[in-house]
Chains A and B, each alone.
Chain A
């Protein structure tokens, strides 16, 4: 397994955001975490990356326990997160953002190769290199956020709400990009509000409710599940237009 969560819980003060969840992601998979806002999906990703400590349970990356490890060390092991809301460094240029993305990498030749690969995926970024990242459009900023993550040459990428706040046309582009990344060998753990589109590109999914996993299964099983169709898929569509 690439990533395993064993009975992981996350607390924010007195609030139990995530309770006793078990999740696994195999190499080469796209796995989606679904569920309403506040169900614990983002908290799960933050806990995996060590940005907020897990209260209990274990996190294993490629079999190695990483619970309680510093974020920067986890990134160096080969896993990173593209955070919700993109959080590109808006006062820095596109070039500088990408350079920071590669800060954990020692091998210069390899960084140059990764850079070229990133530019074939996101040709627009090459045109915008010297521009301040804050001046990019929303779609371009999301591309930069993902590109910046890719610069650390991860084997597992956690993506938190990559389609949030983007125009429908751009959302399509982002999802086909994610599918494309998997084709190229990257393993992806995706958190999305847009359940329909994310299930389409996923192999498996977990459905969160109130900090617990309510349902898990393959794409087709989740898609055909009546509960999902009526509650989550239906609800997601509404909340997406809020």
Chain B
């Protein structure tokens, strides 16, 4: 029972982070058909912003807020500088550009800041552990879960209630027809990138609160997971990205907890095997299962 609570808490908090990252990736992909490999670098931007802002001596929460704003600005700049010039080019051009951007930024962190891990002081209350029976939950895990729920609800309202939100959903269906509505294409794309930056910034904060450090490769692993979550959930579907992220988080934590020690080193491979098996059965991802049962 206690083990189950641990799995649920860990699965939800890890899955929440994958879900937020996947959501940003899925939104940009749905509108532009762009697979943004540089998305994970927004986590690095958040981390390094937190690292440098810490020298100002501001309270942790203020530092986090500024760092998330830095991630949003970085996402918008990414679009403006790297992706807008190739917007009407082929999908391959988009892939190459985002790969290049990812490599340039990663090399940039290494060469201009440090190739080493930089410690980031996280206040004690963030990592405080709240026992529940023999198990429990730490503050940052609770924050991760609450933040994800609030963000997903907020984003859903934004996409349903505001004109620009409607335009993002419309552009995900058909970009040129959205322009025929007299809606500024650049505005829609920039907003989608800003949202993806916000989500990546929140994940960056949660990830770093857990690790207590930042390094040039910090974005890579969670972004790979988020890509898998997007495909797992159903490419192009926002709710699929969230579902995919949370299931992937659970899968990872459950395997880590329940697998016997002898096969534990293979847990990632086993996790991906499950994903591959699901995709073999339902090639369009989890979303196609839901649509069939509708």
Contacts and interface: CB of A to CB of B under 8 A. Distances in A.
A70 B182 contact: no
Interface stretch (A15-23, A99-107, A184-192): A99-107
A81 B179 CA distance: 10
A87 to B, nearest CB: 5
B181 A91 contact: no
B38 to A, nearest CB: 27
B169 A91 contact: yes
A152 B184 CA distance: 14
Given A89-B169, A92-B166, A92-B169, A104 B182 contact: yes
A103 B185 contact: no
Interface in A76-105: 76, 80-81, 83, 87, 89-92, 96, 99-101, 103-105
A75 B173 contact: no
B167 A103 contact: yes
Interface in B63-115: none
Contacts of A91: 169, 173
B180 A81 contact: yes
B276 interface: no
Contacts of B183: 72, 100, 103-104
Interface string B153-187: 00000000001001101100110111111111100
Contact of A87 (B166, B174, B185): B174
Contacts of B169: 89, 91-92, 96
Nearest to B172: A91
Contacts of B167: 100, 103
A30 B189 CA distance: 36
Contacts of A80: 180, 182
Interface string B245-279: 00000000000000000000000000000000000
Contacts, number: 67
A51 interface: yes
Contacts of B166: 92, 96, 99-100, 103
A72 B166 CA distance: 16
Interface residues of B, number: 17
A24 interface: no
A144 B67 CA distance: 44
B169 to A, nearest CB: 6
Given A89-B169, A96-B166, A103 B180 contact: no
Contacts of A104: 181-183
Contacts of A105: 182
Nearest to A50: B179
A99 B163 CA distance: 8
A70 B185 contact: yes
Contact of B176 (A51, A92, A100, A152): A51
Contact of A100 (B170, B184, B185): B170
Contacts of B179: 51, 70-72, 75
Contacts of B163: 99-100, 103
A149 B182 CA distance: 10
Contacts of A233: none
A118 interface: no
B182 A89 contact: no
Nearest to B164: A103
Contact of A71 (B170, B173, B174, B176): B176
Which of B174, B177, B183 lies at the interface centre, i.e. has the most chain A CB atoms within 10 A of its CB? Answer: B177
A31 interface: no
Interface in B126-156: none
Given A70-B179, A100-B181, 10 more contacts: A51-B179, A71-B185, A89-B169, A89-B174, A89-B177, A100-B166, A100-B167, A103-B182, A104-B183, A152-B181
16 contacts: A51-B180, A70-B184, A71-B176, A75-B181, A75-B182, A76-B182, A83-B177, A83-B180, A89-B170, A89-B173, A96-B166, A96-B169, A100-B170, A100-B181, A100-B183, A103-B167
Interface of A: 49, 51, 70-72, 75-76, 80-81, 83, 87, 89-92, 96, 99-101, 103-105, 148-149, 152
Interface of B: 163, 166-167, 169-170, 173-174, 176-185
